[in-house]
Each structure stands twice: as structure tokens, then as C-alpha cells.
């Protein structure tokens, strides 16, 4: 693995490691090494380097939202009154404190942000919308899109 402009030149083994960890983060180093075709010590060394260089950002458990009582998933398209850097920063600071907002993406186009929000039910989302989101800094309007079901929900990225 050679350093190229602050990054790594990933070889096929590095990509196999990343793909496997992305799909199964709890795999043991011994199992991972066997799957990618190297012995455990160099596999562990590669994983550490990939982590140190920022290719691996962390490990998480995927929690079943419905079993935890979150039956409503909403995509909220937020439009601002103004688009200055300070206005965007104030909104980002505000939504960082809202635990039911699970993703936030700054957009170019008809809306300024799209948020992925989970709520216990439609009434609790409506309460959050009217009491919190619509009064957030610089918010002009919110268009709510209720997700009926999720046919594909992959985390991570495609690793060829």
C-alpha cells in the first residue's frame, strides 16, 4: 500500500477487506484474513492502516427501527429563506441536536436540505414538524414525503 497524495493505493486485498467489513463488521480478524486470502497478522495490519488513513470511519450495529417503535420514516425537503453560509451553519447546528433526524444532506436544486427522519408515528412526526423543524433557523418551508416501505436500504458504498 503506497501513499498517494495523502491516501492509499488500494489493491484488490484492501478492497476485499473493505467490502467484507462493510457487509459484516463483526467478523473476526481470522475469518476476515481467510476470506481475503492472507494470514491474520498482515490482515490486521492492513485493517489498522485503513482505519488510520480514514477509509474505515467506524463500526455500528444496524438496529431494527420497527422493533424499537419507530414506524414512520419521512424525507423532509427543507427550503431556506436565505442561503448564506451563516444561515446554513445555524441550521446545521440546530438539526445536529435533533435525534430523530438521522441524515441531513445539503442540496442544489429546488430544496436546500433533505432530511431523513424517523418517528414513532405520524402524530409524533407532525408535532416535531410544527414545534421544531418549521421554527428552526432560516426555514421557509418543509415538504414532507412519507416513506411507505424501503425496497433497498444498503449502507456504505459499492466497492468494486
Q: Work out whether strand 101-106 and strand 113-119 pair parallel, antiparallel, or are unpaired.
A: antiparallel
Cβ 17 vs Cβ 46: under 8 Å = yes
pLDDT, averaged across the chain: 93
Kindly list the domain boundaries of the chain, sorted by start residue: 3-52, 72-146
> pTM surpassing 0.75?
yes
Q: How open is the CA angle 52-159-23, to the nearest 5 degrees?
A: 80
- Express each pLDDT in 6-60 by its tens digit: 567 899 999 999 999 999 999 999 999 999 999 999 999 999 999 999 999 999 8
User: Which CATH number is 72-146 given?
Assistant: 3.30.70.920
% pLDDT > 90, the chain: 88
Distances (CA, A) of 143 to 13, 108, 131, 137: 44, 16, 15, 16
**Which grid coordinates belong to 26?**
463483526
Tell the CATH topology of 3-52: Arc Repressor Mutant, subunit A (1.10.10)
pLDDT tens profile 140-149:
999 999 999 9
Whole-number percent of the chain with pLDDT over 70 = 96
Domains 3-52 and 72-146 share a fold: no
Amino acid at each position: 500500500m503506497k501513499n498517494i497524495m495523502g491516501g492509499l493505493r488500494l489493491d484488490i486485498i484492501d478492497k476485499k477487506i473493505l467490502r467484507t467489513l462493510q457487509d459484516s463488521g463483526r467478523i473476526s480478524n481470522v475469518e476476515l484474513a481467510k476470506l481475503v486470502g492472507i494470514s491474520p497478522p498482515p490482515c490486521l495490519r492492513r485493517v489498522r492502516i485503513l482505519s488510520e488513513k480514514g477509509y474505515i470511519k467506524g463500526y455500528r450495529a444496524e438496529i431494527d427501527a420497527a422493533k424499537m417503535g419507530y414506524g414512520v420514516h419521512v424525507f423532509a425537503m427543507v427550503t431556506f429563506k436565505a442561503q448564506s453560509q451563516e444561515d446554513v451553519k445555524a441550521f446545521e447546528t440546530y438539526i445536529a441536536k435533533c435525534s430523530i433526524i438521522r441524515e441531513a444532506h445539503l442540496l442544489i436544486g429546488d430544496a436546500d436540505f433533505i432530511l431523513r427522519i424517523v418517528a414513532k408515528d405520524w402524530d409524533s412526526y407532525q408535532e416535531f414538524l410544527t414545534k421544531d423543524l418549521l421554527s428552526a433557523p432560516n426555514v421557509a418551508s418543509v415538504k414532507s414525503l412519507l416513506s411507505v416501505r424501503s425496497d433497498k436500504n444498503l449502507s456504505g458504498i459499492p466497492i468494486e
